[in-house]
Amino acid sequence: MNGRGDSALQAVLARPALERRLVPALRLVLDLLRTVERSAGPILDLVIRFALAQTFFISGLLKLGNWEVALQLAREEYPVTWLDPVTAAYTGVGIELLCPILLLFGLATRVAALPMLILALVIQFNYRALDTHLLWAALLGWYVVRGAGALSLDALLSRGLRRSALPLAGAVLKVTEAMTRWLSDPYLLLLRLWLAAGLALPLLASSGAGNWLPFASFATLPVGAAVPLAVLLTLGLASRAAAVVLMVLVAGSAMMGGVTLPAPGWLTLLLALLAIVGPGALSLDAALVRLLQGSFPELAGRPAFDLAGLPRVVIVGAGFGGLACAAALRRVRASVTLIDRHNYHLFQPLLYQVATTALSPIDIALPIRGLFREHFNTRVLLGEVSGVDTARREVILGEQRIPYDYLVLATGASHSYFGRDEWAAHAPGLKQVEDATEVRRRLLLAFERAEAAEDEEERRALLTFLIVGGGPTGVELAGAIAELARFGMERDFRRIDPTAARIILVQAGPRLLPALPEALSHKATVALQRLGVEVLTDSRVESIDGQGVRVNGQAIPARTVLWAAGVVASPAARWLGAEADKAGRLKVTPNLSVPGRPDVFAIGDTAYAEAWQGQAVPGLAPAAKQGGVYVARVIRARIEGCDAPPPFTYRHLGSLATIGRKAAVADFGWVRLSGAPAWWLWGVVHIAFLAGLRNRVSILFDWIWSYLTFRSGARLITGESATSNTPTAETLSERRQYHG
């Protein structure tokens, strides 16, 4: 074969390696740009509208308060040849008072921005030429062309108006959408050329072009920096980066040189708009993206390869491990099927906050399909897995059978009552959203029934809350209930004092949080006791019924009992007929496959793996995610014929537990924290682990609000039996059953 053929062959053979390195990086950059535009864009849009509205509205108020001055300006300073001075004064003040209000709220934005744009140009060419007026006009022109963003009444009302009976509403919306579609890119091109001319042609400042171009705004920039940036803006190449650099240079030049720029704030807003929105389709940036998307279709959300005949990977369970595994397989040449009994991914570590009214279920759950919307090789199925046919390599999903070449079991765990399942009716645990809402119902109903109780002993029993289990869930539940009683509803009742509620935490072992160092365990105990929680260690629960709990031979009247003492794995081991430990977890090999079944893997709470310095991997979210990513690497290596990765090793990232609103404990091995620093770290870590930007923002604002106001979320009592504090054993048993 000749040299040219050898080169072509080498290029073909190198393409998968190139894709593995280049495509993830490009996808990350494009996703980041889209995320910035979607999240920061509406906020910047609101800031710009507020700034413009404030400037024009204040000007209108000043003129209205000094009407003679306004008339004089209309006659002498900036007369409009085609309008009578009095009419011009009334028109100008009317525009400055009415249009800014519409612009601020984003109502009829284009209609409001157009008169303001004309007024800005009249001031520039009939009164006094300043960069400020030109920048106003540039920003207002954007709103005439594009309209307001997502944080506006236009965006809020558009869907309803489109389907309303209002005359011409649909036609007007179609026209505005057409303007956005056809004029946005040409306007961005003109905007870039306008800024580039102001940067690169300062010699024209003394000519008539000085009235049209923002020369003064860039006067302090050195030519060596201005000209290259002008070229980049003209070509639309690395436009976002050029806009950011310009923002920094203009601000830095003004501060270091002691130069007062004419309109640094307006210029910064305009450059920020270009940095976030981008250069538009008429640019080299857009052409380069189109070229890359043509070479790598997955960058455009299109299938990069045909799924027919590819290896089939079935993942059962959309918890932390299942999601991590599916996400890591997004670019592998495989057909991936993700199955879960719910249509949402649940962030279980914050379930206790839903149970204690601090958060809403929607804050800690995210639809699975939305997470995999752009994963063309991943199919999401809603259903209840009842078994696995290993002989035929099929997952049993109701009446349907899903074939697999590789099976990943990430089925999680449910509550374990250590053989005393009759306790389930009286002591619910926390594993699902339904569990959290049931616990919330019981907690709130206990206070309501105590308010109505006539018997003092019954009232005390109703206001006694007992949590079984001193692990992280039990500690966090006890602290949250104490906070709820003392700071959330202390003024809501007339006959009872919620702050007198008795919270008891029972731990069978000698100390709380046995997985943490003893010093941190002691600090957690002290923090709980400061909140008024009674901590009973070395205490064995002997019985639980509708009247209360018997602990170490002593009966404790408690109408609300919560279970946080243990879990049992899903029936995955029974499906496979494989060996399991006492908690029902599948014993797996060093590569997390089931012994004797190299095509079946188990991760998270489903698996028992001695991969943590010879110890069992803990049932934590980071462990499940690490396992999911590792199994994806194993499957990828087998599909691509590469060397298998080394045996799985769990990397412990630390343990955290929070106690109330200002204390927590954290152990990272090399450092240990407690108190407020650990509490802040706990909050940051949990927000970072959440799936979805909306959930992170929502929880952040909820936490800030409740922290500053001592107010929790809506305390609604819901459920099948809103007046009964003890559901039937059958109901809870059905709720606790695992279905894949």
Q: Whole-angstrom distance between the N-terminal and C-terminal Cα of the chain? A: 55
Q: Which residues sit opposite 414 in a β-bridge?
A: 568
CB 132 within 8 A of CB 263: yes
DSSP state letter for 106: T
Residue from 731, 727, 722, 712 nearest 445 by CA: 722
Residue 415 DSSP SS3? strand
Beta strands, E only, 79-183 = none
Nearest in space to 466 (alpha carbons), one of 504, 428, 501, 423: 504
- Crossing angle of helices 693-709/676-689, nearest 10°? 150
Task: State CA 46 to chain mean position distance.
Answer: 21
Q: Is 476 a catalytic residue?
A: yes
Taking CA atoms, 491 is separated from 23, 487, 498, in Å, by: 58, 9, 8
H or E stretch covering 39: helix 3-65
Other C-beta atoms lying within 10 Å of the C-beta of residue 472? 22
> What tokens were used for 161?
């108006």
Backbone dihedral angles phi then psi of residue 494, each to the nearest 5 degrees: -110, -35
- Give the H or E element holding residue 679: helix 676-689
Q: Rounded to 5 degrees, what are φ and ψ at 236?
A: 70, 35
Q: Determine the Cα–Cα distance for residues 183 and 161; give it in Å rounded to an integer.
A: 23
Distances (CA, A) of 562 to 332, 570, 637: 44, 21, 45
Looking at the DSSP bridge assignments, the partners of residue 665 are 657, 674
The whole-angstrom separation of Cα 571 and Cα 606 is: 9
Handedness of CA 76, 82, 84, 90 (dihedral sign): negative
Do the strands 400-403 and 394-397 form a parallel or antiparallel pair, or are they unpaired? antiparallel
Token pair 């029934």 in the structure block, residue: 449
Taking residue 491's Cβ as centre, other Cβ atoms within 10 Å add up to 8
Catalytic one of 476, 483, 579, 730: 476
Q: Is 650 exposed, middle or buried (0-12, 13-18, 19+ CB in 10 A)?
A: buried
Positions marked active-site: 476
